[in-house]
Each structure stands twice: as C-alpha cells, then as structure tokens.
Amino acid sequence: MPADLSKHAERLNKASLASLAASRADDAPLSASGWKLNLARQYLDKDAETALLTFGKKAGLEAAAGRLFDGEIVNPSENRPALHWALRAQSPLEGEAEAVRQSVLPALEFARKMADGSVTASNGKPFQAVLHIGIGGSDFGPRLIADAFGDKATSGIDLRFCANVDPFDLDRALEGLDPESTLVIGVSKSFGTEETLYNLNRARAWLEASVGDKSDQHLALVTANPDRAKSWLGGREAHVFDMPLSVGGRFSLWSAASLACMIYLGADIFEGILRGAADMDAHVKSTPVAENMAMRLALLDYWNASVRSEKMRVLLAYANRLRMLPTYLQQLEMESNGKTVGPDGVGVQTATAPALWGGEGSVGQHSYHQWLHQGSQAVPCEFILAPDMERDPEGVTALTAHALAQAEVLANGRSLEEVKAEEPDLTDIVANQKVHAGGRASSFLSHAKFGPEAFGALIAFYEHRTYFAGHLWGLNPFDQWGVERGKTMATRLKPAVSGEVKADDAATAAIISMIRKG
C-alpha cells in the first residue's frame, strides 16, 4: 500500500464527513450510460483523491482494461481470457471473441421461435411454463433479470427457478406445473455441478412419467461441456446451447445461460440489456481513470477496504426492480475477490474485498437501517436510486426523499444539541438515545430513465469494477478455489452422512452422530 494513501487516511479520519462533503458538494458527478455517481460523502478530499488517482494510473488500470478488451490472458489459473464482454458486443469482433459473440445468438433465435410457435412442446402445443435449473452464476443472473422486468413479460410463460439441492426447492418449483407444457432448462458450465444434475435428474424423471420418450423435446441444456451433456442424455436429443469456456459462471448473465429470460421477457428486451452493457463497455474501454466510473469505484473499494480498513459495504437499492441486486453482487464481488493469495501464489499484503450485503430501500429502513445509523460500527453505504419514473409520482417522490434522507443522516448525524432544540421536552435519558453519531460514508448512484438498457449498463459497470478492484489487490477475479474445496469435501462426506463410514474429523463425526440420532 502506498505510504501517502495511509497518511491521507490518517489525516481524514480526524475530519468531519459533513465538512468534507460540503467542500465537494459542487464537484461534477461521474457519469456513464445515463448513470450519475456522487462521491461527495466519502472520506476523501482533493489531495487524497489526487493521490488515489495517481495510484490507479501507476497500478495500470487503463492497461488492465486494454488487456481485457484485447482478449489477453487475464485468468491465469485457467490460462484463458475473460470474454464475457464479447457476448454483448454490437458489431462483429475477431477470433475467439467473435465466436463468443455468436454463441448467444442461437438462444435468442430459439426464444423467438418459441414466441412465434415454431418451437412447441411434444404435443404440438405452445409451452406454458419454463423451469430454469442452475446454481451460483447459472442462477443468480437470470433470477435478477426475471425479477427486474417480470412486468414486461408478454409471453404468457410461467417461469420458475430451482437451485438448491434441498429436495423441497424442486418440489416447490414444480408445484402446479403440467409436464406436457413445461420446458426444463438446465444450466451448468461444466455439466458436473452436483446440485444442478440432481435437480435435472429428478426433473427429467418427472417429464418422462408423462411424455415418455418425447421428454427430450422438453429439455434445453446450456453448457461448455456438450460431450458430458450428451452422455447424460443417453443417446437422446435435446436443445443444447453453448456457454463459452472463456465466460465465467458469475459473468454469464449475458449468455445462453439466460435463455429462460429471453423466452419469458422476449428477445427484444434481452437485446436491450445487451445494448446497455455494450455502451458501458465503450465507456470503460476508452475513458481515462479520472472520469472512468468503474475504475474510480474500484479505487474507492481499495481506499475503503485496504487503506481505511472497512470490512463491509452495504448496498441500498432504492428500486424495486433491483431488489435482488445485493444477492447477485455478493457472488460477483465476494467470489471474485474474496481471496488473500494472488495468481503468483504469494499472499497479498493488504485487506481485500469487504463483505457485501444489503437490500431494498425503503424496506430496509424498517430493519437494519437502525444498525447503520446508531450501531457501533460505521459501515460505508452505496445508494442506488432508479425508480420507475412513469409510475405514481407521489411514490417516486417519497422514495427519492427517503433515499436522500438516509444518506444525509448517515453522514451528518444528529447531535444532542439538535435533539434538545427540536424536542425540548425530552429528558436527558431519552435525548441521549436519539443522538446519531453520523460520519458514515456513502456514495450515491442514480438513473433518471431506468429500463433494460440502464440495467445492462449497471451490471456491466459492476463487472468491470470487480475486475479492476481485483487488479489493484493483485488477485485473479476469475477463479474460485474456495468454492471448489467445499464441493470436494461434500463428496467425501456423503458416505459418512449415509453411515457407511465414520468421518475423519472428530467434530464432523460428532455432528453427523447428532443428526442421525434425530
């Protein structure tokens, strides 16, 4: 960590956040793809920001962007480029990037054929339901899209999701569905994910019990391992779509992994999402560090986590369409950068990605905002204001006012003197309980005309921010060894859970005994 950043942090820790914000209130917001970003309420001033920008330039953020968009190897663990951005490119590319761009087109065409009746169920009638089976990156993105824009669906499709290996998840998803009018979509990059295969096997049996040998017409598989998928099919045919190897699971929202959303919402809406993401890509690719929104937020992440030692960040989405965004970003950021060892095998010397959590505003105001305002830990918050401006103006005004009020109170607090001046009849005992410490940093991101394009741009922004933050920390954001280890151990423990052997770990063995005794 650069020494000058530490010195600036020590200096600013003694400053009033309200005063810092006032001195920066007139700074022009950062902007990209219709999104505006205000950073006034962060523990930064001009000198610290200049030092942070210098650090970003020396760290090679612009060169890192070049390597990503030039298709160079940025995932050394697998010796691959990261070409998720190519899925949303709006014009032909070259080499492998063009193959990636092309890979999503058959899924879009399939969605259009379902819409016009060219693709039907085995009885020749239209599909009435789609069941999406996947987990992790093969689940969070499609769920987020479907939840965000479900009101725009015109397909008449009943869309269900299943991810958990808990049998009740699939039972719940299948409830009320008719197998003769249901398309089951299985998404697994490796086609070896235990949870997905377990649920696919059960769903296939459910189909076969009603449609028999024609069940293959009710199956669509999305994978980077078509040979393993064909083996699972056992010689039968099914609709199979490509998930490119150079697209990581948590970056695959743009691919055929979102086939269910293309069907449910229509190909046109999904293409709008892709256009918005491509527009953000253009901003990130060509904009210098100082004006580059993704690079600036990556630098802020470094500043707060590595320099100021903040262990958490709270995402407050003041948009019902984005209520699932915190869940989606937990995987994107914490699986990507939740590491302490770089691709060279050497431990990094600073704190890395903070824990990310949050929820929907203003719902959270009646829950954990109490902790944010008066709890013992001051946690940086990230506000996203993106209401549906065409809906009831009174509600939009109230939502906006609530978001602004929360950010203001978090930063400015409420002193004992203010409490007594506003409520002179209070006893000191009660007045002290109404004091807000303030000094709680936040950033504020907003969009005036939120829709599919703005959504695509926002998700692409977070992807790039995650990549750049990983670069600053010296990490590879495109592998996940911690996840893989847990899968391996689960496989090893199955015989112990079944009672065939005893677990090697004493505590695990004791817990299994406790479970089996009931």
Alpha carbon distance, N-terminus to C-terminus of the chain? 52
Token pair in block for residue 337: 């950068």
From the list 239, 238, 256, the residue with the least C-alpha distance to 247 is 256
Q: How far is CA 367 from the centre of its chain?
A: 22
Residues with catalytic annotation?
335, 366, 487
Q: How far is CA 388 from CA 318, 322, 340, 361, 391, in A?
A: 10, 11, 40, 14, 6
Sign of the Cα torsion 423, 424, 425, 428 reads positive
Tell me the three state secondary structure of residue 296: helix
Element (DSSP H or E) covering residue 484:
helix 481-497
Q: Which residues pair with 442 in a beta bridge?
A: 381
DSSP 332: I
Residue 240: CB atoms within 10 Å: 16
Spatial CB neighbours of 14, under 8 Å, sequence gap ≥ 6: none
- Is the Cβ–Cβ distance between 56 and 472 less than 8 Å? yes
Q: What are phi and psi of 442, to 5 degrees?
A: -155, 155
238, 221 Cβ separation under 8 angstroms:
yes
